[in-house]
């Protein structure tokens, strides 16, 4: 099975014109080519995505709806983490990840103690 395609080959396989493929790329419905230039290279992922776009259009979805669906599928959440919060002043709060090394926490606390007098002075000058 072929894994790299030219724009023309991609167009022939999907039945989507090269102009529309470029348009989909410009509207972020499709990623740009894996290799750009006169001999741009497209991958199996491009082929699959174009087939998805074609199917969605045949189901009556607009390009805007397809773009929203694509955006939703790209959203990935990072692993949750626990944070420690320190209130330096009534209006100033610092958040620090709880899983940092004790050495790093000590550095941060030292730096916070150095800036605390400046923050307190600025608060008194209201």
DSSP 41: B
Query: Residues 109, 48: one domain?
Result: no
**Nearby residues of 114 by Cβ (< 8 Å), 6 or more positions away:** none
Query: Residues 29, 67: one domain?
Result: yes
Q: List, for residues 103-112, the tens digit of each pLDDT value.
A: 999 999 999 9
pLDDT band at 39 (very low <50, low <70, confident <90, very high): confident
CATH of the domain at 33: 1.10.1660.10
State yes or no: pLDDT of 124 exceeds 70: no
User: Domain tally for the chain?
Assistant: 2
Residue 115 · residue 125 · CB < 8 Å: no
Domain of residue 91: give its range. 83-124
> Do strands 83-89 and 92-97 pair parallel, antiparallel, or not at all (unpaired)?
antiparallel
**Nearby residues of 116 by Cβ (< 8 Å), 6 or more positions away:** 88
Query: Residues 107, 63: one domain?
Result: no
Query: Residues 57, 94: one domain?
Result: no
Query: Residues 57, 98: one domain?
Result: no
pLDDT band at 52 (very low <50, low <70, confident <90, very high): very high
Query: Residues 104, 67: one domain?
Result: no
Six token digits for residue 125 = 């000058």
């Amino acid at each position: 099975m072929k894994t790299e395609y030219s724009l023309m080959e991609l167009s022939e396989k999907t039945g989507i014109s090269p102009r529309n493929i470029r348009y989909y790329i410009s509207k972020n419905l499709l990623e740009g080519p894996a290799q750009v230039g006169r001999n741009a290279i497209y991958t199996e992922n491009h082929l699959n995505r174009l087939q998805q776009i074609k199917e969605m259009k045949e189901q009556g979805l607009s390009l805007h709806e397809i773009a929203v669906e694509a955006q939703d599928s790209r959203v990935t959440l990072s692993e949750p983490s626990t944070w420690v919060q320190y209130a330096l002043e009534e209006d100033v709060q610092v958040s620090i990840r709880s899983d940092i090394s004790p050495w790093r926490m000590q550095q941060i606390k030292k730096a916070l103690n150095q800036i605390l007098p400046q923050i307190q002075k600025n608060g008194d000058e209201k």
